[in-house]
A and B are shown apart, each in its own frame.
Chain A
């Protein structure tokens, strides 16, 4: 089983739609969680950290479910510019290692 798993997609949604991605992780001792965004042929960039109580940044909401070992990303009112690959990142316990999921591709159409 992979340490961090994501549905590769693509998720193809119209502008204005709400879309949600999940990411599961295998190590229950994982401590820190992040969502990164990667545009085609570009480097990944931090989208948002994921806090235990859940957090929101504009149209983006991140949630953590420790019992079921998954994190989620909800995007409201999708924009064309949201089209990208969304990478789930998990830091294991006190380790330095940040493990990346293989990403979920989102396509927002006009």
Chain B
């Protein structure tokens, strides 16, 4: 697509429920990133995909967090047994391929998660 698309834009859930966040990157961008931004804070790196592989998952806060990417395109971030501290905006970005503008991230509008 023309930009990075994320859904849902807003999600309110009860503590203990599972949530799934979706990211559809820019067509042709093989690299995809997930970041988390808590209120008034900077961006916290979660995970990076190159194609369908995630070389580094060390940014995921706990084993309740997982992510996958299929077909080198759409990615889903799953949070199991949500806790109140998971409340944040989850931002997905895709990275332009090598060449002009390489390493530039284009972000989606984010998924705002509120855990009650």
Contacts and interface: CB of A to CB of B under 8 A. Distances in A.
A76 interface: no
Contacts of A101: 42
Nearest to B41: A102
Contacts of B31: 96
A49 B104 contact: yes
A49 to B, nearest CB: 7
Contacts, number: 44
A49 B102 CA distance: 10
Contact of A96 (B42, B55, B108, B110): B55
A57 interface: no
A98 interface: yes
Interface in A90-106: 91, 96-103
A109 to B, nearest CB: 21
B35 A45 contact: no
A98 B103 contact: yes
A97 B48 contact: yes
B85 interface: no
B91 A43 contact: yes
A25 interface: no
Interface of B: 31, 33, 35, 41-43, 45, 48, 50, 55-56, 91, 103-110
